[in-house]
A and B are shown apart, each in its own frame.
Chain A
Amino acid sequence: MTAAEDRKAQVFEDNDHKPVGHGRMLRKEDPRFLRGKGHYVDDVQLPGMLHLAILRSPVAHARIVNIDTTAAEAHPKVKAVVTGAALAEQGLAWMPTLSNDVQAVLATDKVRFQGQEVAFVVAEDRYAARDALELIDVEYDILDPVIDARHALDPSAPVIRDDLEGKTNNHCFDWETGDKAATDAVFAAAPVVVVQDMVYPRVHPAPMETCGAVADYERIDGKLTLWSTTQAPHAHRTLYAIVAGLPEHKIRVISPDIGGGFGGKVPIYPGYVCAIVASIVTGKPVKWMEDRSENLISTGFARDYVMRGEIAATTEGKILAIRTDVLADHGAFNAAATPVKYPAGFFGVFTGSYDIEAAFCKVTAVYTNKAPGGVAYACSIRITEAVYLVERLVNCLADELEMDPTELRIKNFIQPEQFPYTTKTGWVYDSGNYEPTMREAMRIAEYDELRVSRPRGARAAS
């Protein structure tokens, strides 16, 4: 059924006809948003609130030689200037990431990506805080950066993570899934093999609302209230308790209206921690809101997978096996928000919607001098990359076999009676009935007529 038909079938004029339960009804929250009465983190105003701005690295890779904050501290509206060295004295210069790595809250030894947090200023207003950043003098000893993940493991590549003991290269992790021997055997015997290299480039969630926080630490009762742009307030509270050593019951995380997240508001960013530290240091509420550029250059990116995909099939178009080798660019710190046992997220579903004999995948993750992150932007935890890989591969196979891409897919679908279906990489698909879904899309598209209408031949691309 199309959505348009469904709309006609259901009463949907206003909320006087709303269902008691499931069905179409207008959103309860919309009157608030449409009338400008949404309440976002940046709308939080507290008496005596100070403002925080972050000084970021202008270069991708450099050793910090010296930071001179005297001029900034002399600014009449500045209340505090904090560097990585000051945080280090409190044991707060580094924090754990959601992937069991560590990330600098403020750089102490080196900067490792352009836009990395180096120092922060707390001032009476937003403008003064920004102005004072200009007064901080940082001396950098510039190092060669590692930008192309394909060269990150070259023996000559500079080591980015020399903060990790004994680290002599830029290797982050290796992860494998599936049965290599069985897959190789199927490939060796397969009549048709198609290989395709593809890049899923680095993208960014770019939510309408950037990230920010208001921290309010009450010295007398030791209670911290944190308004922050988070998609996971409880998880964040527990992590703040662990990182900052504050008792969990004394922390309240409030996530008010959020202007889009798309995964980008799952990680804990240094700015949140800086705001907390600033409120503890000054005894006042402190607001930090990043601007658009800060959001794009420093918060959780997505994708950045360099993939080689291989698909094996019979000449009749029965898909036999899929094999893939992935180079994953994790940036300067592995801050991907992913379940611990799944460092490459749910990329293991790269076998797609097809009933195949064997599959194998190897992911090699590397550090580069780019912003950390990795799992963000509506990706279902790396399924975006997996689906792109398999759906491009199946299309390449269709081209090779000169088969219609819908026919090839329908021929290889997992059948309804096979559910629950365990894939060759161990995922238990709970349910599905793929062919009717495919045929419904073909019906709406008038697919057969569309195929015929398509001009073919040289110079017929338009």
Chain B
Amino acid sequence: MGIGVAFFTEAVGAGPRKDMDILGLGMADGAELRVHPTGKAVVRLSCQTQGQGHETTFAQLVAEEIGIPPADIEVVHGDTDNTPFGLGTFGSRSTPVSGGAAVMVARKVRDKARIIASGMLEVSVADLEWQKGSFHVKGDPTKSVTIQDIAMRAHGGGDLPEGLEGGLEAQVCYNPANLTYPNGAYICVVDIDPGTAKVTVRRFIAVDDCGTRINPMIIEGQVHGGLTDGVGMALMEMIAFDEDGNCLGASLMDYLIPTALEVPDWETGFTVTPSPHHPIGAKGVGESATVGSPPAIVNAVVDALKPFGVRHADMPLTPSRVWDAMQGRPTPSF
């Protein structure tokens, strides 16, 4: 049995554009939000989901700001003809950068909604108070208009405050002030079969701090997936080559990836330290677990092998490599 500990700090959400570009394209992202007359909305993003639930997370980000239920917000992405420009989804940058864009565009729409509401309630904008989903007159909650009422007025035949265009929509390009720095503490417990040198992950505790949490279920899903990846890298996965340059990992029979059978029940927890510069204090979490778990697992294996005088062994810690380490043989170079 061995116990391994790791504590990671990541830097995710590239830009800002002045420091970061890919072939001259600055690392910022756009968002466009349109509220339809009946108060349903469509938000268009430059990033692209690959399974991590953007259609939910981004609907929730906008919902939180303008009080339209997530079910009433359509998320459009992955089509250059129908979305604003931006650098896309990689390096855990969707929430830090596109998420920032979605929040800022929703706030821009809310600012316009406030002006329309002031006309509808015949008070100045300063006398209005926002309560998620509606504006009411300060001190008189009975005098209020919902975001849906405002949307209809924005597209309707009635008067709008002077100088205001019709419609309820906005567009932004969000250039992050800095990266966000999610972090976490991981503890791994492994057992090693002394007869076969097979490593089994008995327990894995992952406490992640990704700042403000938008949808905890999606975050846990990201963490579970990343931890599984980590077990793969630490114990199973390698693209190896023979001396002639033949790839020895050219099929999933040769390149082993973990399944539910190789991983324990994940024990996850969290702390919340908001990012000071992100509009809602969120930090990217897509890669946290993949980054943090391999050293925790290797540290646990090395801890278990201490009685054999082992100080280090290289990934992937397959039974043959662990057996070699137990016999005092060095890890093969490739």
| Contact surface of A with B, Cβ cutoff 8 Å | 1-3, 6-7, 10, 12, 15, 18-29, 59-61, 96, 98, 100, 113-115, 145, 147-148, 150, 196-204, 206-207, 230-235, 237-239, 251-256, 258-263, 265-266, 292-293, 296-297, 301, 337-342, 346, 349, 352-353, 369-371, 377-381, 383-384, 387-388, 391-392, 395-396, 399, 405-406, 409, 413, 420, 427-434, 436-438, 440-442, 444-445, 447, 450-451, 453-462
Q: Is the CB of A28 within 8 A of B55?
A: yes
Q: Is B27 an interface residue (CB 8 A)?
A: yes
When chains A and B are docked, how far (Å) is the Cα of A189 from the Cα of B161?
72
Given contacts A207-B50, A255-B48, A340-B21, contact A380 B12 (CB under 8 A): yes
When chains A and B are docked, how far (Å) is the Cα of A339 from the Cα of B16?
11
Contact with A along B62-77 (1 / 0, CB 8 A): 0111011111000101
Q: Is the CB of A60 within 8 A of B246?
A: yes
**Neighbouring A residues of B130 by C-beta, 8 Å:** none
Given contacts A428-B178, A437-B183, contact A20 B69 (CB under 8 A): yes
Q: Is the CB of B50 within 8 A of A392?
A: no
A-B pairs with lowest CB-CB distance, top 3: A60-B245, A232-B88, A21-B64
Interface range, B side: 35 or more
Q: Is B138 an interface residue (CB 8 A)?
A: no
Chain A binding surface, main DSSP class: loop
Closest to A345 in B: B91
Q: Is B92 an interface residue (CB 8 A)?
A: yes
Q: Is the CB of B241 within 8 A of A442?
A: no
**Neighbouring B residues of A432 by C-beta, 8 Å:** 9, 181, 183, 209, 273
Closest to A113 in B: B245
Q: Is the CB of A199 within 8 A of B22?
A: no
When chains A and B are docked, how far (Å) is the Cα of A454 from the Cα of B237?
28
**Neighbouring B residues of A405 by C-beta, 8 Å:** 4-5, 299
When chains A and B are docked, how far (Å) is the Cα of A413 from the Cα of B8?
11
**Neighbouring A residues of B178 by C-beta, 8 Å:** 428, 430
**Neighbouring A residues of B207 by C-beta, 8 Å:** 437-438, 440-441, 444
Q: Is the CB of A383 within 8 A of B53?
A: no
Give the shortest distance, in Å, between B321 (CB) and chain A (any CB). Answer: 11
When chains A and B are docked, how far (Å) is the Cα of A12 from the Cα of B218?
13
Q: Is the CB of A254 within 8 A of B3?
A: no
Q: Is B165 an interface residue (CB 8 A)?
A: no
Given contacts A202-B238, A378-B287, contact A383 B192 (CB under 8 A): no
Q: Is the CB of B314 within 8 A of A430?
A: no
Q: Is the CB of A3 within 8 A of B270?
A: yes
Return 16 A-B CB contacts under 8 Å, by A number.
A2-B269, A27-B217, A231-B48, A231-B50, A234-B46, A234-B83, A258-B50, A378-B290, A383-B8, A384-B291, A387-B6, A387-B292, A431-B274, A433-B273, A440-B271, A444-B205
When chains A and B are docked, how far (Å) is the Cα of A296 from the Cα of B188?
29
Given A432-B209, A437-B183; 7 other pairs, CB 8 A cutoff? A20-B64, A29-B55, A147-B245, A341-B19, A380-B12, A388-B294, A392-B295
Closest to B87 in A: A235
Q: Is the CB of A409 within 8 A of B5?
A: yes
Q: Is the CB of A148 within 8 A of B305?
A: no
Partner of B50 from the list A3, A260, A406 (CB cut-off 8 Å) is A260
Q: Is the CB of A235 within 8 A of B237?
A: no
**Neighbouring A residues of B290 by C-beta, 8 Å:** 377-379, 384
Q: Is the CB of A231 within 8 A of B89?
A: yes
Q: Which of A197, A204, A234 has the most CB of B within 10 A?
A: A234
Given contacts A3-B216, A233-B79, A353-B8, contact A28 B239 (CB under 8 A): no
Given contacts A22-B214, A301-B239, contact A409 B271 (CB under 8 A): no
Q: Is the CB of B181 within 8 A of A456?
A: no
When chains A and B are docked, how far (Å) is the Cα of A34 from the Cα of B242?
41
When chains A and B are docked, how far (Å) is the Cα of A317 from the Cα of B61?
44
Given contacts A201-B314, A387-B10, contact A441 B187 (CB under 8 A): yes
Q: Is the CB of A20 within 8 A of B63?
A: yes
Q: Is the CB of A456 within 8 A of B247?
A: no
Q: Is the CB of A383 within 8 A of B11?
A: yes
Q: Is the CB of B23 within 8 A of A340?
A: yes
Q: Is B259 an interface residue (CB 8 A)?
A: no
Q: Is B111 an interface residue (CB 8 A)?
A: no
Q: Is the CB of B304 within 8 A of A461?
A: yes
**Neighbouring A residues of B203 by C-beta, 8 Å:** 445
**Neighbouring B residues of A440 by C-beta, 8 Å:** 185, 207, 269-271
Closest to B222 in A: A378
**Neighbouring B residues of A462 by C-beta, 8 Å:** 1, 191-194
When chains A and B are docked, how far (Å) is the Cα of A437 from the Cα of B3?
18
Q: Is B167 an interface residue (CB 8 A)?
A: no
Give the shortest distance, in Å, between A103 (CB) and chain B (any CB). Answer: 13
**Neighbouring A residues of B179 by C-beta, 8 Å:** 427, 430
Give the shortest distance, in Å, between A238 (CB) and chain B (any CB). Answer: 6
Closest to A370 in B: B241
When chains A and B are docked, how far (Å) is the Cα of A148 from the Cα of B194?
32
Partner of A378 from the list B60, B214, B286 (CB cut-off 8 Å) is B286
**Neighbouring B residues of A27 by C-beta, 8 Å:** 53, 55-56, 217-218
When chains A and B are docked, how far (Å) is the Cα of A459 from the Cα of B292?
29
When chains A and B are docked, how far (Å) is the Cα of A340 from the Cα of B311?
37
Partner of B245 from the list A342, A370, A399 (CB cut-off 8 Å) is A370
Given contacts A28-B71, A450-B3, contact A457 B80 (CB under 8 A): no
Q: Is the CB of A461 within 8 A of B308?
A: yes
